[in-house]
Structure 1
């Protein structure tokens, strides 16, 4: 159906004029049958046979093209129309075979059979066209379903043929030689005329509606010629209902109208169905052209992106020959783009890394992985580039591969990380220096604490002890004691408190037990003092043999446990603490567990958490590992692993 409203209006107007003129002309012929009877067909059988044969051929053509219009997945309307016109063509052949009697058949009997086949075939056409005129929703049916409809139609046609040939009297008499049409035949023709007129009105209304709304069309059929076809078929049925002899010219006129109607049906049903795939092909061609243009624009856009990228991009084939390189890559290596295209990738790789790089790329292509990173660690020294000047530099890159026409291509996107590597090495050096400085400060601090603790204990402690001894001598003088007893007792208590405080401070600075009894004895003292001072149950699980270590490690472990217990007392709100040591030939493992409220994860990384920072620095100085495991509400565990020399 034309999508142009002006063309559709013009064709509909032409069809209306043709139908009107033929109807007016036919009215004169129907009325003036006496004048028309002058014309007689001298040899009716060849003429009727020729006209019927042409009609059958057209109907068979309708079947062939409708059946193949949509390929394997057919439209329901196309299948029904194809089967209907195939059955009509077969029944038309039976009608021609029996028309006016054939050899081996009685003439009157043959004419009745011929008219029976005629009525059945025309009823199929009228029913199909009327059903189509009601504009049903179209849908797709499978190949199996379409062949099922075809088989059913052929079986029905075969059944009608057997019925008419074997039992002709089952159908009322349709024609009497010399008398013409029977009342039954005229009634059937009248019903067919009414069906065709109704279909013509509906098709005309469809054509008018589709001028405005093309989307309302359900079936791919042009309604304008179909309207004309139903009008012509209705007029042909009038001619077939009024003739009295087979030589009557009405039969020829009716056949002529029927032939033109068949041509119109072919035009409306078949021509458009042929056009549909070609229209789809044209649309596909347009889409292909559009896609090609879009692909061209996409390639241009991609080319611009590659050319303007600040990262280097290189594509090589399976022979490691460069087939694409962007300006950034050429600039990084110190070449021109044209110098690199077509050359080997080995040109950009240091000689000592070429074999390693080749094997890595080959393994990557065979591993089934399409992309991965390279050179993200500075230890991947094989990912090293070589500039045109011979200078080597580190590269961070990602590589991807794809198969095209059986050949494998590799694309590398990379960047020069020389500045980043230099900065990383400087940062690592600064960090190492800071770690050494921290260890030195810890050592100096510990030595200073030891010195201060010794001075307090040996010098100030002895002075306080001597002062108390002098006070004891004064207490032996009865006269002096009687007058100053309250003062002397107060002085004695203050001196005793000062001595106790001095010992505690000296112990916090540097416990003498660590120097005199070792780490195990010092930890036992720390455990008792902690439990007594904070009323928190503290358990030490260790053997003295496990804690025989050098002075530096003993001091560091003591300070770590001391800091941990301080944190428990200040923040954990715990009631139990457990300190457990496990020692092997290669490492010493220390776990400190409490049942407190735990540490929030955000607090572990705070720069103000000097206790944890100090622990990490001490453990790092001993090349150990430190981990904090904490669940809010369930307590905290410190896991420490220290390597031991064999």
Structure 2
């Protein structure tokens, strides 16, 4: 349950004491009713004038406090209190026969103005207490409501002055207030008491007329406690206004006093709080500024320490390329002291051949509107080069950022000396080239050895086995052989035939004769047919002899790539179809090997022992080509190779 604030507690005590005082006065009604005010008109005029001034102040605050940004509640408040002030003024000038008004009708007119003005106040406070949903109001809508309220007030004034006899009678000369007037007062008392009850409930402060969402200090703040007190006092004042007999009765003065106290409470709840808010906000802003200044000083000190202790060099220059900030690491990198670089031109640490170009680059960077970018991040192009105090040049990896302060642009460069990294990179590149050359040489030697072994197997051992089989076949024709011997010779013949077949297959695997005798196209055709027959996997070759008319080195490399790919399909893919496609242009030869197998996991491709892929990649690299693997688990694998022909 929400707790009441101290202001509401004070308001309840004040309302209770005043209500107790009112009860005491009512208990002495018989005595007080005999007291007549010696000068009722001045007393009434003074009290009513103060009330009118207060209500006018409320109108000014509600209407103009925050410019043209208003909400429905602030517009209704402003118009209601303005119309109340106007009607209160008309009530005052028509009370007890002001000059220019007939005596017989003045009190009736005055009370008509009175009832309407009090009704405005009562219903307005009730609306605030109920706190309906609010909404934005445009300037046009606000002025429309204001003009409509003024026109309605003017129409009521004309009707009261011109046709008072058509309106319900509120006062009879010599008899006092009518039952209609007293009934209206009772209704106003009930409304004000209900309003006080609603405002007495615990709740948040009421606000209206927001100039923008979330902007503190730009809302019309309204306090509940003073409005609770005002509603209670208005109910009490209406009670006194319901029991007086004539305009000289002391109850008129007492009612006006309670009404004035209610107006002061309204002023406190709606005007003074908003007058005080900007000053409170200003004081809070001043405190926040003081705290911000202290925090900013600490941040600057912290930033200064970070810059001074940074390992990387940091330099800030202005638009004229003059150094305005440099840290010790930057000065040490260039072989200077910090004081030597402060105020100097950036050209001091740049090679002479780069100064003009570097200045244009920095200027273009500022004109692009970018805030930061890398400089010289490519190891192959060290265009950002620094020069030390002794004249030695060295490569720099740097990033540059741009910021604008007070209309001036500044550039900050964070850099590091990458001499050692560049040397290491060059060594790595050299080692890599040597390894590539070694790999190519080994592949060439391997192919030569394979070719030599295949030729020896085919030409020598193959011929010996063939001759041996011919001799064996002659021996089979000898009629003196027994049946058992004949059976043994037939078995030997089968073994020789199997040996010759195996020898041919091994020789073909080592170096297919079709590659040397018919070229790459016929070698791939032989490989395709043998692969399909041996493993039962459909293999389709899309190529022609003209496309594959290549030199021996390229032909051998391409054949080995296709051969290794088909071997991988058998070992790992679980595929049922393989397609080999070639496309040739005057400058490039592109081919792909695609299967419908289970694909290759990313981790499998990154394994260091995936020698099949590594070997294919090295063969392609030796020919300065591109090797791509496109594989998704469950969707097969596609190898794409692009080889330059020039």
Which TM-score bucket, shorter chain as reference? 0.7 to 0.9
State the alpha-carbon separation in 2 of the partners of residues 595 and 345 from structure 1: 62
Cα distance change, pair 266–583 in 1 and its aligned pair in 2 (3 A): closer
Matches within 5 A, 1:458-469: 458-465=459-466, 467-468=468-469
Q: Aligned runs of 1:244-643 on 2, under 5 Å?
A: 244=246, 259=260, 262-465=263-466, 467-468=468-469, 471=472, 478-479=479-480, 484-534=485-535, 542-544=543-545, 546-572=547-573, 579-594=580-595, 598-630=599-631, 636-643=637-644
Aligned partner (choices 82, 86, 106) of residue 82 of structure 2: 86
The equivalences for 1:45-60 within 5 A come to 49-50=45-46, 52-60=48-56
Give the aligned CA root-mean-square deviation in angstroms: 4.3
Q: Where do 5+ consecutive residues of structure 1 fail to align?
A: none
Q: Give the C-alpha shift of residue 378 in structure 1.
A: 0.9
Q: Secondary structure at the match of 2:382?
A: coil
Q: After superposition, give the CA deviation of every residue in 1:238-260 in whole Å (9 maximum; x if it has no partner).
A: 3785454x667766666566555
Distance 1:383 1:123 in 2: 82
1:192 corresponds, among 178, 185, 190, to 185
**Structure-1 residue corresponding to 2:213:** none
Instruction: Indicate the larger mover: 393-402 or 277-286.
Output: 277-286
CA change 1:552–1:263 in 2 (3 A) is closer
Contact conserved, 1:51 with 1:255, CA < 8 A, in 2? yes
Q: Deviation of residue 584 (structure 1)? A: 4.1
Bigger Cα displacement from structure 2, 255-264 vs 107-116: 255-264
Contact 2:172–2:178 at 8 Å: present in 1 too? no
Q: Distance in 1 between matches of 2:536 and 2:191?
A: 108
Structure 1 partner of 2:215: none
Label 1:47 to 1:449 Cα distance change in 2 as closer, same or farther (>3 A): closer
Within 2, Cα distance between the matches of 1:229 and 1:483? 136
Given that 2:205 and 2:223 are in contact with CA atoms closer than 8 Å, whether structure 1 keeps it comes out as no
Query: What does residue 153 of structure 2 align with?
Result: 157
Q: d(CA) in 2 for partners of 1:128 and 1:535?
A: 95
Structure 2 counterpart SS, 1:390: coil
Residue in structure 1 matched with residue 222 of structure 2 by the alignment: 220
* CA distance, structure 1, for counterparts of residue 437 and residue 62 of structure 2: 92
What secondary structure, in the 3-state scheme, does the structure 1 residue paired with 2:395 have? strand
Asked whether the equivalents of residues 185 and 241 of structure 2 are also in contact (C-alpha less than 8 Å), the reply is no
1:604, distance to aligned residue in structure 2 (A): 3.8
Instruction: Supply the distance in 2 between the matched residues of 1:239 and 1:500 (Cα, whole angstroms).
Output: 131
Over 3 Å counting, the alpha-carbon distance change for 1:590 and 1:24 in structure 2 is closer
What is the CA-CA distance between 1:4 and the residue it aligns to? Answer: 11
In structure 2, the CA distance between the partners of 1:282 and 1:478, relative to structure 1 (3 Å rule), is: same
Q: Which digits, 9 at most, give the CA deviation of each residue in 1:194-253, with x for residues without a partner?
A: 84598479749957x7xxx67466772463586378548845863785454x66776666
> In 2 relative to 1, CA 274–233 (structure 1 residues): closer, same or farther, beyond 3 Å?
farther
How far has the Cα of 1:585 moved from its partner? 3.6
- 3-state SS of paired residue (1:319): coil
Deviations 1:576-609 (A, max 9, x none): 6555554444333444455555555544444333
Which whole-Å CA distance do the structure 1 matches of 2:121 and 2:632 have between them? 86
Tell me, in whole angstroms, the C-alpha distance in 2 between the residues paired with 1:592 and 1:8.
Answer: 86
**Which residue number corresponds to residue 63 of structure 2?**
67
Aligned residue for 1:403, secondary structure, equals: strand
CA gap 1:480/1:334 in 2 versus in 1, 3 angstroms: same
Q: Distance in 2 between matches of 1:132 and 1:553?
A: 93
Verify the 8 A CA contact 1:193 1:238 in the aligned structure 2.
Answer: no
- The CA deviation at 1:444 is 1.8
Residue 336 of structure 1 deviates from its aligned partner by 3.9
CA–CA distance in 2 between the matches of 1:306 and 1:488? 95
The answer to whether the Cα contact below 8 Å between 1:581 and 1:590 also exists between their aligned partners in 2 is: yes
> What secondary structure does 2:381 align onto?
coil
TM (normalized to structure 1)? Answer: 0.80
Is residue 195–residue 228 contact of structure 2 (8 Å, CA) maintained in 1?
no
Please list the CA deviations of residues 585-641 of structure 1 after superposition, one character each: whole Å capped at 9, or x if unmatched. 433344445555555554444433333322222222222333344566665544333
Instruction: State the Cα distance separating 1:66 from its structure 2 match.
Output: 4.0
Establish whether residue 117 from structure 1 lines up as the match of residue 119 from structure 2. Answer: no
C-alpha contact (below 8 Å) 1:576/1:594 kept by paired residues: yes
- The answer as to whether partners of 2:229 and 2:262 remain within 8 angstroms in 1 is no
**CA distance in structure 2 between the partners assigned to 1:591 and 1:133 by the alignment:** 80
- Call closer, same or farther: CA 1:136–1:442 in 2, change over 3 Å: closer
- Tell whether the 8 Å contact from 1:197 to 1:234 is kept in structure 2 after alignment: no
> Of 125, 142, 148, which residue of structure 1 is paired with 2:137?
142
**Aligned partners of 2:195, 2:546: CA distance in 1, in Å?**
110
- Whole-angstrom CA distance in 2 between matches of 1:475 and 1:258: 145
Partner of 1:168: 164
Compared CA separation, residues 241 and 375, structure 1 to 2 (3 A): same
Q: TM-score, normalised by structure 2?
A: 0.80
Deviation for aligned residue 1:445: 1.8
1-structure distance, mates of 2:586, 2:73: 90
Confirm whether residue 31 of structure 1 aligns to residue 31 of structure 2: yes
CA distance in 2, matches of 1:448, 1:382: 48
Q: Secondary structure at the match of 2:438?
A: helix
Rounded to whole Å, the distance in 1 between the matches of 2:243 and 2:301 is: 73
The question of 1:238 aligning with 2:240 is answered yes
In the aligned structure 2, how far is the partner of 1:454 from the partner of 1:466? 17
Q: Structure 1 317/473 Cα, relative in aligned 2: closer, same or farther at 3 Å?
A: same
Contact 1:385–1:392 under 8 Å retained in 2 = yes
Shift in Å at residue 469 of structure 1? Answer: 5.6
SS of structure 1 residue aligned to 2:222: coil
Aligned length: 630
CA deviation map 1:341-384 (0-9, x unaligned): 43333333332223332333333333344333333321232123
Closer, same or farther in 2 for the Cα pair 1:356/1:169, shift >3 Å?
A: same
The answer (yes or no) to whether the contact 2:112–2:170 under 8 Å persists in 1 is yes
Change in 2 beyond 3 A, CA 1:146/1:519: closer
- When residues 133 and 603 of structure 1 are mapped into structure 2, their CA distance, relative to the original with a 3 A threshold, is closer
CA distance in structure 2 between the partners assigned to 1:596 and 1:261 by the alignment: 91
* Counterpart-to-counterpart distance in 2, 1:235 and 1:532: 114
- Cα distance in 1 for residues equivalent to 2:535 and 2:145: 97
For residues 258 and 370 of structure 1, the distance between their equivalents in structure 2, rounded to whole angstroms, comes to 65
- Larger Cα Rg: Structure 1 or Structure 2? 1
Output the CA distance in 2 between the equivalents of 1:81 and 1:595: 79
Change (3 A) 1:624 1:521: same
